[in-house]
Amino acid sequence: MQAEIGRLAAQVEELEARERAEAGDLVSGSGSEGSMTVTAGADTSVTWKGAPEVEAAGGWSFKPRGRIQIDSGVVDAPASIASDGFGFTTELRRAYLGVDGTIPGNFGYRIEADFADGVDLTDVYLTYDASEHLTLTLGHQKPFWGLEEMTSDLFTTMLERAAFNSAFGFERRVGISGTYAKEAVQVQFGIFTDDIDSLDDSNNSYSIDGRVVFNPKLGDGQLHIGGSAHLRDLNDAASTVRYRARPFSHTTDVRLIDTGEFSASGERNFGLELAYLHGPFHAVVEGHQMTARRPGLPDPTFRGGYAEVGMLLTPGDRPGYRNGAFDRIRPVNPVTAGGIGAIQVNARYDTLDLSDEGIAGGRQQTLGFSAVWVPTDYLRFLVNYGHLWIDDAAVLAGTDSGYEVDAVAVRAQVDF
């Protein structure tokens, strides 16, 4: 009798184990941060990468994604500037929510929107892996701008990118593109129209954009050499352009340098990138020049660039780099393991000149410093300070077109 009861108990335990496995209750993983797999059946698994990523047989996958960035800052400008856009401000800088994944047949997808101020679509595209080294993309995407613009705002060393990125209108646009990557070479090329919010029957501009990156290992370090070219036809006789930049902070809408609107038929932009990463250290130099084409009038050329150095102070931590752009810092000793996370300090000089051929937009120079604390892979805190020199300003300080400004800002950020 006791032997029979033992056999029945063993059968019941086996059936219960099978039911738990089929329901996805058996969990296995290394226990490291952001790495856990849930077996949800013979053909489905769930991996934790900041959020659950579901993979199914045949090539299906699905992962929610998002980010929240809350900024506070103050811009201290001369009191004689006739503007109420300065002082202390707090804003929800970004609030992204979306999904991405794969589809059988070597296809992939991403759809994402920013809910910080209304609903603005960001990445909305389909991808196709044509071969091991070639990926095609169709939809709303970045047209291969320079190194800093192609680096996600999740991983930039400053709260705001260098001034030329916003001044020259670096943004996502609708188009078709291809990326070829093999060993230390990456070639990107695409044809684009306008950003998704500006598409209408009256706007039929188009551009041809390309970027080449050479990123070999150099000793124990990582070298990055890149260049990009962007040719845009506005395709409308009544088209105008405008180039302007904020003073090292998005918390104000005031632009102290500004060309104002002027007529143009197209744009030509060229950029160069150079970076080196070695252990906890990184150095970057990047520059762009934008020429506005004006038939029958001189073509003004505006130039911007920055030079930066940075260092991770926590032992063992390294800046991230992947696919021709900076990537996530992953602390060796996160706070979840009893450590302090990663701490990085950075310094940069940023310049933007918007005056040429009769267009007097002014010049802005910034000496900026930042400290970054990364407690865990998906959590980050930043503090910025910038001292700016403004010349030939579009916004006068009384009657003075040259003056100095200070900007301080902090950010709390989480993503998944």
**pLDDT band, residue 361 (cuts 50/70/90):** very high
Task: Collapse the DSSP code of 166 into the 3-class scheme (helix H, G, I; strand E, B; otherwise coil) and give the result.
Answer: helix
Per-residue pLDDT, 85: 77
Per-residue pLDDT, 1: 45
Q: Which two tokens stand for residue 20?
A: 């738990």
Per-residue pLDDT, 58: 87
Phi/psi for 202 (5° steps) reads -90, -5
Contact 70, 411 (CB under 8 A): yes
Cβ contacts of 325 within 8 Å, gap of 6 or more: 147, 150, 151, 152
Structural domains of the chain, ranges and CATH numbers in brackets: 2-415 (2.40.160.10)
**What are the start-end ranges of the H helices in 91-190?**
147-150, 163-167
Q: What's the mean pLDDT when you consider all of the chain?
A: 91
Which of the 8 DSSP states describes residue 105? Answer: T
Per-residue pLDDT, 30: 39
Q: Which two tokens stand for residue 210?
A: 């390309």
Per-residue pLDDT, 7: 57
Per-residue pLDDT, 267: 97
- Strand segments, DSSP code E, in 234-358 are 240-241, 244-245, 257-258, 262-263, 266-278, 281-293, 301-312, 320-322, 325-327, 342-356
Percent of the chain with pLDDT over 90: 81
Per-residue pLDDT, 39: 53
The kind and range of the H/E element at 2 are helix 2-22
With 60 as the cut, is the pLDDT of residue 20 above it?
A: no
Read out DSSP for 182-207? ETTEEEEEEEE---TTS-BTTB--EE
Q: What is the mean pLDDT of residues 196-215?
A: 85
Q: Which two tokens stand for residue 137?
A: 């993309």
Element counts in the chain: helices (H) and strands (E): 3, 27
Per-residue pLDDT, 2: 52
C-alpha distances (whole Å) from 151 to each of 194, 323, 325, 377 are 21, 10, 5, 16
Considering only residues 40 and 392, tell me which one the structure prediction assigns the higher pLDDT.
392
Strands 221-233 and 206-214: antiparallel
With 80 as the cut, is the pLDDT of residue 83 above it?
A: no
Q: Of 170, 174, 173, nearest to 149 (Cα)?
A: 170
Per-residue pLDDT, 319: 97
pLDDT by residue (tens digit) across 87-108?
A: 899 999 999 999 999 999 999 9
Report how far residue 363's alpha carbon sits from residue 258's, in angstroms, rounded to the nearest whole number: 9
Q: Which two tokens stand for residue 307?
A: 């030079």
With 50 as the cut, is the pLDDT of residue 48 above it?
A: yes
Contact 354, 244 (CB under 8 A): yes
For CA atoms 370, 375, 380, 381, the dihedral sign is negative
CA 172 to the chain's CA centroid: 11
> 222: how many CB neighbours lie within 10 A of its CB?
17
Strand partners, 231: 208, 268
Report how far residue 59's alpha carbon sits from residue 48's, in angstroms, rounded to the nearest whole number: 18
